[in-house]
Structure 1
Amino acid sequence: MALDLVDYERKAREAVMAFWGNREAARQKQIESGKADQGERGGVTAGKNMDGFLALVLDIVRANGLTHADIHETKAVLTLPGYYRPTKQWDLLITYKGQLIAAIELKSQVGPSFGNNFNNRTEEAIGTAHDFQTAYREEAFGKQPRPFVGWLMLVEDEPKSRAAVRDRSPHFPVLKEFKDASYLKRYELLCQKLVQEQLYTSAALLTSARTGVATGQYGEMSEMTGLKAFVTALAGHVAAEAARLE
């Protein structure tokens, strides 16, 4: 069966324009209110920056056989049971006939503090996946096939995110792939390893400069961590589940 990728490149460009536009709108709103956050926080507190990508995911789900799937995108219904902790809140959950079809995280990072934010995002992504996969093994979601678990990251493309970064490791050498790797390269390696270690079904990394607000232009670091790989894996999983459950 042919998969429907719903003209994902065009929709991704629209999502990128919305991402930068929503950030600027949130920042301006806070300035006007006289309660502006410091640094870049003023552009993220509205919580709507990745909604364009959420819409793309929903289009993939509906176009590949799960028209009547239950889409959970509001805070009150985004929680799943964990293994190491009682619950974890996701960015998007998809269920159908009482089964979990997909759990997806949609994240972003804009400069200038790439170092601390990269470490936090990495620890969060790994911890979330380990908790989820162990909870699945322990049948926290009931007896069912393994759900699609996705992680999609949008990172600002600018000199600091592309510059070589050096690390100190006084006792043992850093793994060779990380030596002088930029933050964008580190995110690419993270996505690759998250999938290779079967923590996520698919992990994608997109890059975009702030000029993307007008053009929607975005970049990718590799085919393996590109958007096509992500949407194809999701579409294939949805089509398989639709054939099984319909």
Structure 2
Amino acid sequence: MNTPDARKKLQTLAQKHQILKHKAYYKINHIPASRLGPSERCITDKQYEMLTRQAYLDNEIVIVQEKLDGSCVCAFRQNNEIYALGRTGALANRSLNESLRLWGSWVKANQHRFMAILQEGERICGEWLAMVHGTHYQLLHEPFVAFDIFDTKNKELNYNTFIKRIKISGFISPFLIHYGEVCSLEQALNVLGKGHHGTVIDKPEGLIWRLERNNKIAFKAKYIWPDKVDGCYLTEKTGKAEIWNWHPDKGS
């Protein structure tokens, strides 16, 4: 039940299964044209210029990828074990959410792949697309799409190093829209088109910009379609059963 007492009990339960001392992934601010959700904000006008209009600098790279709509999850290597976590940093297999428990099972089945690319204390983060949230996918690939690896100092690897790492274990990353100089919203949307991860019923959720300076992450920003409704397929909004992009027991 969604009552104060129930929420307090769930919070206490989650804290018992907390593995990371911080969230597995942070919030990314929006570009000015993006739809803002509650408590979200935009990057500065200066930052937007750096991504889309400013003259190209030799030490900077702008990377744009398709933004995917699922659950943000991570796999964390500690004491030579791989822990499947949700975005909060708590154990996925202890979650009340069936999709997160499936993530825990999937990580266990693919543990050797994570061990091959993660060093002790590192974690890989990505989008878990098993359950339909606000975008329905007809997946042409496995339900996990990786987008970042964090080192032992909680810093993301640069894009090229990240891509080399995940190729070792055959993980995929979000579709690359652009790599190089600045990229306008219009340019990025043109390449995004109808999406590259199986969006047939719905249009793709949006875009992620990433600015790297001297091979390090400077900042990121995202674009969400103005008419996007978060979680419109979830059972708590529809009152109906969950819909799955992928489920081992449902043939999807």
TM-score, with length taken from structure 1: 0.28
Structure with the largest fraction of strand: 2
Higher relative contact order (CA 8 A, sep 6+): 2
TM-score, with length taken from structure 2: 0.28
Structure with the largest fraction of helix: 1
